[in-house]
């Protein structure tokens, strides 16, 4: 009730805030969107929005609202977002714990704090959700294109690669059970490293600097035990080469496939000198 009373006071103070919005049940559209990664935000630094024009979408972009709704259905089964604010706050960032009643109370309190600082918060929220975006990290569905699975030697698990945002040339990796195809979070002791391609070490494809890689969940500070079952994934890039090491086992390495980018206007304005990609080929 405390959160509601604060919200009622805000209605009287902010004529263009949430008080103008009718509370409706969000319909769950068929989604073809993916994971979004927002760093946890401090309550002392409420969100503000750039009210400029939205970016030009690519051919594979989808409304960000669909991305957030799919995240909510996965993270909070049975939860009904009341409006755009609920969708954006629960559809981004690390999952929040609590009952549905506690989530509603937190959403109202957090909205009131942000509204005090920026009265454009509701318009900005709608603009963000209406923007068509490419996203990275959604686990693939049966029949999706450019999904590749390879078994790990002497293991019950496989490495799976699946596409992320094409414009950013991002590809994703996770572990799946070889027998079932079900994704698993770090199912054995391992390290994943970025390395130069052993077959073309000087080509500079991908990220040539050697470095250990972490899953996007761990990189955002989510504890391993708090990652939702089967949700863990690594964000790689087209053409990147990685090495998987395990105690007492031979390392395995692989190179991420490269997708063909749509022709750009810049290419039309140039002539190409066609040298072989591999010397002697």
Q: What is the pTM of this model?
A: 0.63
Please tell me which residue, 5 or 172, carries the higher pLDDT value.
172
In 3D, which of 69, 62, 99 has the Cα closest to residue 86?
69
Tell me how far apart the alpha carbons of residues 230 and 222 are, in angstroms, rounded to a whole number: 14
Q: What are 144's strand-pairing partners? A: none
Please tell me which residue, 150 or 44, carries the higher pLDDT value.
150
Residues 69-97 pLDDT 10s: 988 998 999 999 999 999 999 999 888 99
Say what the pLDDT of residue 138 is.
86
Range among 3-17, 23-37, 222-236 with highest mean pLDDT value: 222-236
Please tell me which residue, 279 or 32, carries the higher pLDDT value.
279
Torsion angle, alpha carbons of 103, 33, 193, 167, to 10: -130
Say what the pLDDT of residue 43 is.
34
Say what the pLDDT of residue 60 is.
63
Residues 231-276 pLDDT 10s: 999 999 999 999 999 999 999 999 999 998 777 777 788 888 988 8
Say what the pLDDT of residue 18 is.
38
Long-range contacts of 274-277 (CB under 8 A, 24+ apart): none
């Amino acid at each position: 009730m405390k959160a509601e009373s604060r919200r009622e006071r805000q209605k009287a103070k902010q004529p263009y805030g949430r008080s103008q919005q009718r509370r409706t049940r969000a319909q769950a559209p068929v989604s073809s969107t993916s994971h979004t990664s927002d760093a946890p935000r401090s309550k002392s630094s409420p969100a503000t929005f750039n009210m400029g024009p939205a970016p030009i979408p690519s051919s594979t972009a989808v409304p960000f609202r669909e991305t957030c709704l799919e995240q909510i259905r996965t993270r909070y089964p049975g939860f009904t977002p009341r409006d755009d604010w609920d969708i954006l706050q629960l559809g981004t960032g690390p999952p929040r714990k609590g009952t549905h009643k506690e989530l509603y109370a937190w959403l109202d309190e957090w909205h009131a704090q942000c509204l005090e600082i920026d009265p454009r918060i509701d318009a900005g929220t709608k603009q963000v959700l209406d923007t068509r975006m490419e996203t990275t990290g959604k686990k693939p569905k049966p029949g999706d294109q450019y999904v590749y699975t390879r078994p790990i030697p002497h293991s019950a698990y496989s490495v799976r690669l699946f596409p992320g945002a094409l414009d950013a040339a991002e590809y994703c990796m996770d572990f799946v059970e070889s027998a079932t195809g079900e994704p698993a979070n770090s199912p054995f002791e391992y390290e994943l490293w970025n390395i130069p391609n052993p077959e073309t070490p000087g080509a500079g494809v991908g990220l040539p600097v050697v470095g250990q890689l972490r899953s996007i969940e761990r990189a955002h500070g989510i504890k391993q035990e708090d990652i939702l079952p089967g949700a863990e994934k690594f964000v790689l890039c087209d053409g990147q080469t990685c090495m998987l090491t395990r105690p007492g086992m031979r390392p395995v390495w692989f190179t991420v496939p490269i997708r063909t980018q749509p022709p750009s206007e810049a290419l039309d304005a140039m002539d190409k000198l066609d040298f072989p990609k591999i010397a002697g080929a």
